Amino acid sequence: MPGYGQFEADRPFVVAIRPDLPAQRLFQAAALSAYAVTIAPANADLDIRISLLDPTGTPLIIVDRGGPGAEERIAEISLPVSGSYELRVEAIAGAGDVTGEFASLEPEQMTGGGRFDPLIEDADLATTGAFQALDVVHTYTVDLAGSSVIFFELTLDDPGLELAFTIYDPNYSPLGTYRTEGTTMARSADTFIPFDGAYIVVVQNLNDGTGTYTLRVVEE
């Protein structure tokens, strides 16, 4: 049926959508869990758009690449916090059923994201990730001590990439978004860490480029 509902990962599903009523399916997920999503229209004239919304109702990613009859796919997305997420499928044109696959990914299947080691004094942390497909989101967490001053730096190994990263505090409040914007590096402002906790960094691709990057966390 169209409208709201719930589903579980790794179980294919079928839902009906029409222009005035998207399919909205809720699921519970843990922070840093990762998924791949494929939604395929049953009708050749049905054109769809898919969105994945976080527990605050904010879209983490919106995918609308194909035309009528074409499937839409989120190749890989790791989630920033534990809670209730929403997968939304909207009809851009036409109406009818869609079939969905919502597959959980194991760590060895992921191309980025995960937990940093704890940051110790007078040291910095670095990790690498890769965007090997379109529509990928990587999420990292790092435990930081209150009263420290940190900056985050994203360096591209391929100038064809254009990335953005957003920093969140442990309460999932955004602290800033930074973009490479035609360069091979994005650096945050010096960020005062007000209290201990696991801070979150979400990295997204802004164009259709592929390649690798390095994310560093440095204490001033």
Q: In terms of C-beta density within 10 A (0-12 exposed, 13-18 middle, 19 or more buried), how is residue 114 classed?
A: middle
Helix (H) / strand (E) element for 34: namely: strand 34-41
Average pLDDT over residues 130-148: 92
Whole-number percent of the chain with pLDDT over 70: 94
Average pLDDT over residues 91-109: 92
Kind of pairing, strands 211-219 and 174-179? unpaired
Distance CA 158, CA 170 (A): 31
Q: Could you tell me the pLDDT band of residue 118, with boundaries at 50, 70 and 90? A: low
CATH number of 111-219: 2.60.120.380
CA–CA–CA angle 213, 159, 131 (5° rounding): 40
Average pLDDT over residues 154-181: 93
Span(s) in the chain for CATH 2.60.120.380: 3-108, 111-219
Per-residue pLDDT for 1 more than 50?
no
Q: Positive or negative CA dihedral for 38, 158, 217, 117?
A: positive
What are the beta bridge partners of residue 103? 36
Q: Would you state the pLDDT for residue 20?
A: 84
Higher-scoring residue by pLDDT: 10, 107: 107
Sheet with 47-53: list strands edge to edge: 3-6, 23-29, 83-93, 47-53, 59-63
Task: Compute CA distances 106 → 24, 78, 103, 121, whole Å.
Answer: 25, 11, 10, 32
What are the beta bridge partners of residue 24? 4, 88
Taking the whole predicted model, whether its pTM rises above 0.75 is answered as: yes
Which residue has 């802004």 as its token pair? 206
Tens-place pLDDT, residues 28-40: 999 999 999 999 9
Per-residue pLDDT for 9 more than 80?
no
Higher-scoring residue by pLDDT: 145, 112: 112
Q: What is the mean pLDDT of the chain?
A: 90
What are the beta bridge partners of residue 150? 191, 219
Q: Could you tell me the pLDDT band of residue 2, with boundaries at 50, 70 and 90? A: very low
Average pLDDT over residues 20-30: 89
Higher-scoring residue by pLDDT: 10, 42: 42
Q: Would you state the pLDDT for residue 25?
A: 87
Q: Would you state the pLDDT for residue 200?
A: 96
Q: Would you state the pLDDT for residue 181?
A: 84
Q: Could you confirm whether domain 3-108 is CATH 3.40.50.11740?
A: no
Q: In terms of C-beta density within 10 A (0-12 exposed, 13-18 middle, 19 or more buried), how is residue 205 classed?
A: buried
Higher-scoring residue by pLDDT: 201, 191: 201
